[in-house]
């Protein structure tokens, strides 16, 4: 079929595609016009076009800030820990859900697991403070009641990290199972039956059938996650973090918020944003390359 007749035949589908393309053009490519702020002494009142070019001065200034390195380190640290703790969680959960035989129980558990995903971080933050505060937190009140010492869940480095990580797992693990469960529905049931005939145990079936069949999904998500290593959501560190653990909870996104939106240093904030984008690109290409070399699967 020629290209023109292809278009003619499936024009409805192409029309549907127009919306996502418009989205990317407007919200992803359009704003790139603003990247030049990083190379300009941005004046709010003269606009982007009217501000003077300053070359790489702002980059030099940002790379000279000590806070920049602290927040960069924290971003990597929190993302890396998240990758270790939060990345496997939905996989394990998905396999467990897949193994459940009782349909109604499976449905109820799935719904319950999804719920936290729909709670905003601000509210989760409130719940965390109510539960884990030193003096008034419910968990510590129970601990003290049992004659134990209170645990400073929110005010000391290591306990705080654990609180941070597990709040993340609680919030996102259930929702994260969706993609894996979708991949698992495509698995041919006959494989399991054949394995059963061969006398495979449940664990063996998981190991040799379930896991291999979701491997491409796992790799795709892993690459995407690696690409995000240098970018971090704003809500979670901002809401769960507090002054007492500022040295560990201050990340690039909260830093950008502070210097860009709060103190109006747009140039510096754009520099950091651009830096994040470039490093993110390097990470995603790098992990894709490694993945292709080692497993043969990649996303690009």
Binding site residues, other proteins, CB under 8 A: 4, 7-8, 11, 14-15, 18, 21-22, 25-26, 29-31, 33-34, 43-50, 66-67, 129, 133-136, 141, 144, 154-155, 242-244, 246-247, 258-259, 261-264
Which residue, 215, 209, 213, 206, is CA-closest to 295?
215
Location of structure tokens 């549907």: 16
Q: Which residues pair with 41 in a beta bridge?
A: 52
Of 261 and 290, nearer to other proteins (C-beta) is 261
Of 3 and 101, nearer to other proteins (C-beta) is 3
Of 61 and 297, nearer to other proteins (C-beta) is 61
Of 30 and 88, nearer to other proteins (C-beta) is 30
Of 38 and 97, nearer to other proteins (C-beta) is 38
Q: How far is CA 111 from CA 87, 106, 170, 181, in A?
A: 20, 9, 13, 14
In the complex, minimum distance from the CB of residue 233 to other proteins, in angstroms, rounded to a whole number: 18
In the complex, minimum distance from the CB of residue 72 to other proteins, in angstroms, rounded to a whole number: 16
119 near 171, Cβ under 8 Å?
Answer: yes
CA 247/CA 155 separation, integer angstroms: 11
Q: For 56, list phi and psi in degrees, rounded to 5.
A: -100, 15
Q: How many CA atoms lie within 13 A of 58 on its CB side?
A: 25
In the complex, minimum distance from the CB of residue 34 to other proteins, in angstroms, rounded to a whole number: 7
- 45 Cβ neighbours under 8 A, 6+ residues apart: none
In the complex, minimum distance from the CB of residue 196 to other proteins, in angstroms, rounded to a whole number: 53
CA 295/CA 262 separation, integer angstroms: 46
In the complex, minimum distance from the CB of residue 70 to other proteins, in angstroms, rounded to a whole number: 10
């Amino acid at each position: 079929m020629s290209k023109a007749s292809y278009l003619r035949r499936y024009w409805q589908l192409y029309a549907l595609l127009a919306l996502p393309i418009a989205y990317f053009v407007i919200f992803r490519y359009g704003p790139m016009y603003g990247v030049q702020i990083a190379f300009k002494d941005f004046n709010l009142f003269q606009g982007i076009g009217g501000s003077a070019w300053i070359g790489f001065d702002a980059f030099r200034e940002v790379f000279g800030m000590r806070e920049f390195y602290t927040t960069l380190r924290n971003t990597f640290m929190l993302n890396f820990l998240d990758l270790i703790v939060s990345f496997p969680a939905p996989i394990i959960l998905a396999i467990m859900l897949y193994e459940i035989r009782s349909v109604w129980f499976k449905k109820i558990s799935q719904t319950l697991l999804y719920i936290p995903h729909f709670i905003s971080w601000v509210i989760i933050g409130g719940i965390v403070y109510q539960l884990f505060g030193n003096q008034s937190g419910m968990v510590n009140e129970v601990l003290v009641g049992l004659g134990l010492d209170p645990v400073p869940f929110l005010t000391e480095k290591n306990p705080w990290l654990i609180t941070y990580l597990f709040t993340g797992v609680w919030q996102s693990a259930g929702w994260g199972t969706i993609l894996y469960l979708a991949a698992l529905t495509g698995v041919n049931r006959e494989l399991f039956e054949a394995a059963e005939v061969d006398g495979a145990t449940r664990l063996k079936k998981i190991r040799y059938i379930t896991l291999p069949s979701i491997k491409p999904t796992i790799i795709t998500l892993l690459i995407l996650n690696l690409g995000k290593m240098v970018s971090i959501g704003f809500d979670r560190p901002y809401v769960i973090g507090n002054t007492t653990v500022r040295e560990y909870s201050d990340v690039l996104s909260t830093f950008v918020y502070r210097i860009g939106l709060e103190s109006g240093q747009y140039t510096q904030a754009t520099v950091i944003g651009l830096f994040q984008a470039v490093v993110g690109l390097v990470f995603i290409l790098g992990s894709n390359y490694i993945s292709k070399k080692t497993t043969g699967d990649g996303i690009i």
